[in-house]
Amino acid sequence: MNTIKDTETLAAVCARLSTVGYVTVDTEFMRDSTFWSKLCLIQLAGPDDDFIIDPLAPGLDLAPFYELMRNKQVVKVFHAARQDIEIFWHEAETIPDPLFDTQVAAMVCGFGDSVGYETLVKRLTGGSVDKSSRFTDWARRPLSDKQLQYASGDVTHLRKIYEVLARRLTQTGRARWVAEEMAILQDPETYTTRPEDAWKRLKVRFKGSKGLAVLVEVAAWRERQAQDRDLPRSRVLKDDALAEIATQIPRSLEELDRLRAVPKGLSNNRSAAALMEAIERGLNMPEDQIPVVKDAEPLPPGIGPLVELLKVLLAMRCEEHEVAQKLIAKVSDLEHIAAHDEADVPALKGWRREVFGADALRLKRGELAIGAKGKRIILIEPGKSAK
């Protein structure tokens, strides 16, 4: 097992790997006490060798690694890539290209919803993964041989998994399906965190617009504090404290201190003045800038049976195509399709429309029917024999 701790060795390895067809990649990180993930380890493998990169090694420059991630001649293979890419984007504004996510590919190939890495290792390689080092302190040095062996397995098994899934996608003509999903993972917007949108993650309901405006501003204040100080949001201020501030709207530090959910002594904190300014900005927000939060639109009366039929159709189509249902549509998507012919849902776009969406609309228009033939559920087209 090769552990890389200096830039010269890393540059030589990345130069060699720039000539292969693909590399497998994984990371280990910590995020218990920070806002941004702390990159602690990078696992990297080509078809014939594998390496451990220690980002915490003194003086190590990861520039050669990120250059490899941007090399369009080499496919970068991950399993459940989103968190890894989020780190790369924050650290170096780099998104691997081209990208292949084996979790997405496995869902397309019929391995179920959000299939785990251990399951793929067992089913596609016949191997196994030692889980005992999963929950470990990856920032502590030195790392044990057991930890390094565990980390290495995350990319060595991934080679076989990638090769098998890539062949299946080629054989079934579904490589384009995965490519559509990779476009989402490669969009910088996927990893952009805007303070002004932070309020959307909070489960707080308001009848008055002023309370919502205050929530927008204090949530943005917390988000900036968390990012600037690299602290978890809850370490700055908990969600229930934001909700109470937006409900009670304190106008002074004394009133702020009297709130039950606000930590005692917050008024003495150096950031308290900025929090009070955020409250004032919320109170002074023009009406036309206050977000409009609409209640969920009720389903039209009597639509329930159609939604149930769409569920059956979804199950049929996913079984027929051996693709995970979760990847095609959620129940809420089916409800939108049942209620609106031009529903803005993924199931009516791209490859999902080919697999399910087009037939969903046909079923809704009465151009398809669902019946039974023996133990099988079948589709019936008027004037044609049953499918």
pLDDT, tens digit, 9 for 90 and up, residues 128-179 = 887 776 778 999 999 999 999 999 999 999 999 999 999 999 999 999 999 9
Whole-number pLDDT of residue 207: 62
Q: Residue 386: inside a domain, yes or no?
A: no
State residue 280's pLDDT score.
Answer: 97
Same domain, 78 and 187: yes
The tally of domains found in the chain comes to 3
Find out whether 229 and 236 touch, Cβ atoms under 8 Å: yes
CB 75 within 8 A of CB 46: no
Same domain, 127 and 260: no
Burial of 24 (0-12, 13-18, 19+ CB in 10 A): buried
Half-sphere CA count of 203, side-chain side, radius 13 A? 0
Whole-number pLDDT of residue 387 = 53
Residue numbers of the chain with a pLDDT score lower than 50: none
Residue 297 lies in a domain: no
Neighbouring-strand partners of residue 28: 41
Q: Are residues 163 and 77 in the same domain?
A: yes
β 75-78/376-380 pair status: unpaired
pLDDT at residue 206, as a whole number: 67
Q: Are residues 133 and 21 in the same domain?
A: yes
Helix ranges, 71-199 (H): 82-92, 102-108, 117-120, 145-172, 175-185
Place of tokens 């991934």: 158
Question: What's phi and psi for 27, nearest 5 deg?
Answer: -135, 160
CB neighbours of residue 182 within 10 Å: 19
Give the Cα separation of 211 and 240 in Å (integer).
14
Kindly give, in sequence order, each residue whose CB lies less than 8 Å from that of residue 339, ignoring residues fewer than 6 positions away: 297, 299, 300, 303
- Residue 264: per-residue pLDDT: 87
Q: For residue 331, give its domain range.
A: 303-380
Q: What distance in Å separates the CA atoms of residue 138 and residue 38, rounded to the nearest whole number?
A: 9
